[in-house]
Structure 1
Amino acid sequence: MGIKGLTKLLGDYAPSCVQQQELKNYFGRKIAIDASMNIYQFLSAVRAGADNLRNEAGEVTSHLSGLFYRTTRLMELGIMPCYVFDGKPPELKSGELSKRIEARRQAEASAALAKEEGDVEAYEKFNRRVNKVSPEVIEQSKRLLRLMGIPILEAPEEAEAQCASLCKENLVYATASEDMDSLTFGSSKVIRQLWVGATSTAEKKGIHPLEFSLEKALLELNFSYEQFIDLCILCGCDYLDSIRGIGPYKAFNLIRKHGNLEGALEEIKEKHDVPDHFPYDKARELFLKPKVHSPSSVVLEWSPPDEQGIIQMLVHESNFNEDNIRKALKRLAHSKHASSQGRLENFFSIKPKEQQDPSTDKKRKAPVFSPKRNKRR
């Protein structure tokens, strides 16, 4: 789900924090990708009767097709992706997961009814909602990425949190995810629409990646990072039920007025019903100190693809067209040379712009992020 209404709120109150980008601008960049989110998108895009998305046994292979061709495309552009997979979900997230399970059950019932009534359009609509990222799908995806020579990382808990940790330590340039809670976890930069922007028809449709900057968001909102987390919690996140009657704009004004969630809740309780179980302090702790692998233990290495292994998996096991796979493998092998070339800025140290003395400004300014500019990402 992410953070409810955060994208529109930032567009209105911190417009400079989001910029449309061209894929070519990420040449030489290392980008951490929220794997489960992207795999789910491919599963949801399954079309009834599309033979190329299923093998002879009728098993869905759209996630393998998407991973293989889209990752190859990114590598061709000189982008160096690494994929981060979710670990065990935090206990506080159990409520949100229960809602998703119930929604899937309702979709299954609606799909079955539509199929019985012969309503093909309704069946396809509800059947897409039934798709889930199963353990089998995850293991197949990891196997393919390893064969492609792409680094993968299994997070202790939330993938977005692990991606954010990689960003903070300058091991990668940005997090690629559609969920805005990647910003809440502290990713300095978040890229949305990276994968859809890599499709062959993206340019014709005017689809480009959108890059969000946490530093610029904090400066324009005039919030500290801690206040930004409180704002996101009050907007509605995966860990707590939202408060009826409190949308993102009311949440923003309340945090701006009171400075923190505790003060905002005191005012909210006067007019709105706050859920009996609303452990905002635990949600705040999850965003501030999530369980992640220590940066010193993380090694990101891109290696040559195992061509025979990929042929075995995609052609012989999944019934992909062999000619198409071999053509893509040639592009993938060639792309290794492009992605291994560094960006010009990586060879120079960039001096940070001088900041104005806070004592001369009456308003409290949010702390400025100072990423290490001399490390290659």
Structure 2
Amino acid sequence: MLEQGDEAGFKKLVDSIDITPDIAYRLIAELKKKNIEFIVAPYEADAQLAYLNRSGIADFIITEDSDLMAFGAKRMLYKLDFSTMTGSELEVDSIPQQRDVNFNWFTHCMFLTTCILSGCDYLNQIAGIGLKTAQKSIGRVTTFRGFLGEISNKSLIPADYEISFMKAFLTFRFQRVYCPKRKACV
């Protein structure tokens, strides 16, 4: 049994859940039977949810995954505890007001670069580079290439990191999603 606050145990539990095509098919059949509207993301569900949120179709997203901010989600309920019905509300517009890191003048691309450098689903972080270090560096140099230029210990950076970074960046920026207003993928 998991103890309350056992983050590592909860993560293992979440990682063990696998939604098979059969489970998805049966859920879709039930939703259709009950005339409940739904959307099946054409590719990445996080990108789809962020799009719905940015478009005003979804007011907020309940999530365990902070990558939604990198996809451009505006408002999320993060780490919802269903037993106490509490979680953290994250709003992109309030990020610049945080004391720990300062994003006051960051563009979305600078914010995204900071997120990727500090570690994301598509690319592991460089040893010793967390959110605060990445934010301070991007705040000084504004770009990923500028960041690479100022790293003093180049041996910390894996050989394929630059190309992997670009793939992650493009994945976050240019996901294909379904637009219910147009009834088409955009």
- Go from structure 1 to structure 2 and tell me whether the alpha carbon gap of 1:211 and 1:146 turns closer, same or farther (over 3 Å shift): farther
Whether 1:290 aligns to 2:175 is yes
CA RMSD of aligned residues (A): 2.6
Highest Rg: 1 or 2?
1
Cα distance in 2 for partners of 1:130, 1:229 equals 28
Q: From 254, 257, 268, give the equivalent of 2:151.
A: 268
> Out of 77, 82, 89, which is 1:211 matched to?
89
Q: Equivalent residue for 1:160?
A: 46
Unaligned runs of 5+ in 2: 3-11
Distance 1:161 1:272, change over 3 A: same
Per-residue deviation, 1:173:
0.8
Secondary structure of the structure 2 residue equivalent to 1:283: helix
Tell me the amino acid that sits aligned with residue 174 of structure 2: K
Q: 1:282 to 1:209 in 2, by over 3 A?
A: same
Q: C-alpha displacement at 1:139, in angstroms?
A: 1.9
- Is there any run of 5+ residues in structure 1 with no aligned partner, and where? 1-44, 46-125, 300-377
Tell me the CA shift for residue 269 of structure 1.
Answer: 5.5
CA–CA distance in structure 2, aligned partners of residues 182 and 235 of structure 1: 15
Q: Within 5 Å, which residues of 2 pair with 1:243-258?
A: 243-258=126-141
User: Contact (CA 8 Å) 1:244, 1:272: kept in 2 or not?
Assistant: no
> Relative contact order: is structure 1 or structure 2 higher (C-alpha 8 Å, sep ≥ 6)?
1
Other-structure match for 1:143 = 29
Pair 162,235 (structure 1): closer, same or farther in 2 beyond 3 Å: same
Task: Give the Å deviation of 1:257.
Answer: 1.7
* TM-score normalised according to structure 1 size: 0.40
Distance, in Å, in 1 between the alignment partners of 2:179 and 2:39 is: 12
Shift of 1:242: 2.1
Q: Which has the higher helix share?
A: 1
Distance 1:187 1:233 in 2: 15
Distance between the aligned counterparts of 2:15 and 2:172, measured in 1? 28
